[in-house]
Amino acid sequence: MSEFRTEHDSMGTVEVAADRLWGAQTERSRRNFPIGVGKETMPGEIIHAFGLIKKAAALANRELLPEKMTVEKCEAICDAADEVISGMLSEHFPLVVWQTGSGTQTNMNANEVIANRGNQLAGKRLLHPNDDINLSQSSNDTFPTALHLAAVTAVEDQLLPSLDALIVALQKLEEDNADVVKTGRTHLQDAVPIRFSQEVSGWRASLEQDGRMLRAALPPLRELALGGTAVGTGLNAPAGFDRLVAEKLSLLTGKDFVPSPNKYRALTSLDGLVFAHGAMKALAADLMKLANDVRWLASGPRCGLGEITIPANEPGSSIMPGKVNPTQCEQVTMVAVQVMANDTAIGLAASQGNFQLNVFLPVCADNFLRSARLLSESMAAFRANCVCGIQVNRIRMEENLRRSLMSVTALNPYIGYENAARVAQLAFREEITLREACIRLGYMEAERFDAVFCPEKMT
């Protein structure tokens, strides 16, 4: 049977497992919110960010409030916070997303763990969760700050590198097939010719635009609420704390962060997060289009379009021998749907800021970071297991190009739109070529048709 110790907070005493570093407030939350336990705990990125915040705050308080933040206390906090940042203490952060909407209990979880671990390192009762670890802070400004730190890190360190790698893979596919001409398609119907490299360039350029939008979304996320404390006034924080702690966080992360110029907005508005996730939704939409195009083009292998082949990664059916499915395309489209759903949750949550605080912060953090992770990992798998293995079926593309009736558009300048339409209709009706139909209708001699009809020049 586990041993327990007695912890206390302003509401009284609570029994906590002796081998856990959290305190009374964390334990109360753990008991009161048994929702998604073990499955939907607060994202690790948020815990990591809290470690950074508590270390940066201690360093800033050491400079601004040396009588309260002594050298001994600052060193103990920094050492314990470093263990949080490294992930060594992750088992001591048990709280779920579905808790107080301000994230107060996760802030207190960080305060209690760092205080207790710091006391262990110091070998004495040196630190208090509220008076020392939470000095100059409130949950109302630390959680939005953690959210911004985690969001910037996820976009810069996970999402954009994965996106850029996929773009490079598409560039190679484009360059390797610059000479391939195929039929275009609009409305899922045959259209005028296009080069396969041009088709791929559309995919690539869309993703490049998504990257630009993601980068444009970062500056608002670099603004931090820290220093606003409870309602934005900065109560109990020393002058200059917001600027100094932003500088400390910038040094600790190697990323640029600045204090929000208006803390009242920073505590209650999530517009920057909505904007950034909107860019992720745009990326999801483009990935959906790309994955669908790839699986349409690879459909078959004999009774579909069959213009490209994609890697056969695993058996596709438990009953049909030899069947292979476009599974990487399917995971991309499912991820895209989930990201779009996450965007709805974030948008709704962001609209619910009342007075001086938005109390939907944990669900926003969970959805934003989940989208970033899903998109990053999805693109990496899609690139490695599908895009890099795409092979062009040149024979099928050539056959489809020659059979396409819409190449008749090349004749418009010579015989007019209506006559060209008659050529296409006759060719379709009697299963003959455009050349045969044009000659039979008397619109051109064979030599003239051969001279002006060149699909390759239509691209």
For 243-259, give the DSSP string. HHHHHHHHHHHTS--EE
Of 29, 317, 318, 404, the catalytic one is 317
Domain boundary among 135, 168, 185: 135
- Alpha-carbon 391 to chain mean position: 28
Give the DSSP letter of residue 42: P
Instruction: Say whether 317 is catalytic.
Output: yes
Is 291 in the same domain as 439? no
Q: Residue 327: inside a domain, yes or no?
A: yes
Domain limits for position 10: 4-135
pLDDT value, residue 140: 98
Same domain, 382 and 417: no
List beta partners, residue 15: 6
Q: How many domains does the chain have?
A: 3
Beta bridge partners of 7: 14
| In a domain? residue 33 | yes
Q: Identify whether residues 216 and 103 lie together within a single domain.
A: no
Around Cβ 260, how many Cβ atoms within 10 Å? 27
Query: What's the sign of the alpha-carbon dihedral 202, 203, 208, 209?
Result: positive
Say if residue 1's pLDDT is above 50: no
Task: Provide the total of helices (H) and of strands (E) in the chain, helices listed first.
Answer: 18, 8
Q: Is residue 299 part of a domain?
A: yes
What CATH number does the domain containing 303 carry?
Answer: 1.20.200.10
Do 280 and 178 lie in one domain? The reply is: yes
Residue 216 and residue 176 share a domain: yes
Same-domain pairing of 410 and 443: yes
Does residue 237 form part of some domain? no
- Per-residue buried b or exposed e for 314-344, using 16+ beta carbons within 10 Å of the residue's own CB: eeeeeeeeeebbbbbbebbbebbebbeebbe
Active site residue 187: yes
Q: Quote the CA–CA distance of 344 and 356 in Å, as a whole number.
A: 23
Work out the pLDDT band at 39, boundaries 50, 70, 90: confident
In a domain, 248, yes or no: no
pLDDT digits (tens, 9 = 90+) for 373-407: 999 999 999 999 999 999 999 999 999 998 899 89
292, 424: one domain = no
20 by DSSP, 3-state: which?
coil
Q: Is residue 110 part of a domain?
A: yes
What is the Cα gyration radius of the chain? 30
User: 371 exposed, middle or buried (CB, 10 Å; 0-12, 13-18, 19+)?
Assistant: buried
432 shares a domain with 310: no
* Active-site residue identified among 2, 10, 187, 318: 187
Rounded mean pLDDT, 2-29: 94
What is the percentage of the chain residues whose pLDDT exceeds 90?
Answer: 94
pLDDT value for 2: 61
Nearest Cα neighbor of 183 from 409, 448, 450, 425 is: 409
Q: Distance between CA atoms of 315 and 321, rounded to whole angstroms?
A: 8
Answer yes or no: do 156 and 117 share one domain: no
- Specify the CATH number for the domain of residue 430: 1.10.40.30
Give the domain CATH number at 36.
Answer: 1.10.275.10
pLDDT at residue 15 above 50?
yes
Same domain, 331 and 448: no
Burial (CB count within 10 angstroms: exposed 0-12, middle 13-18, buried 19+), residue 450: exposed
Task: Tell me which of 89 and 455 has the higher pLDDT.
Answer: 89
Average pLDDT, the chain: 96
Quick: pLDDT tens for 165-213. Answer: 999 999 999 999 999 999 999 999 999 999 999 999 999 999 999 999 9
Task: Decide if 231 is inside a domain.
Answer: no
What mean pLDDT comes out for the span 309-315? 94
Do 64 and 172 fall within a single domain?
no
Of 361, 394, 427, the residue at which a domain comes to its end is: 394
C-alpha 305: how far from chain center: 32
Task: Give domain status of residue 377, yes or no.
Answer: yes
Query: Any residues with CB less than 8 A from the CB of 118 and at least 6 apart, and which?
Result: 73, 76, 77, 79, 80, 126, 127, 133
- At residue 71, the pLDDT reads 98
Kindly report, residue by residue over 73-111, the tens digit of the pLDDT.
999 999 999 999 999 999 999 999 999 999 999 999 999
What single-letter DSSP state applies at residue 416? -
pTM of the full predicted structure?
0.95
Which residue among 352, 372, 394 closes a domain?
Answer: 394
How far is the CA of 422 from the CAs of 188, 242, 401, 415, 439, in angstroms? 22, 74, 19, 10, 12
* Residue at 245: amino acid letter: V
Name the one residue in this structure whose structure tokens are 């999530």. Answer: 270
> Do 108 and 199 have their domain in common?
no
What mean pLDDT comes out for the span 302-311? Answer: 95
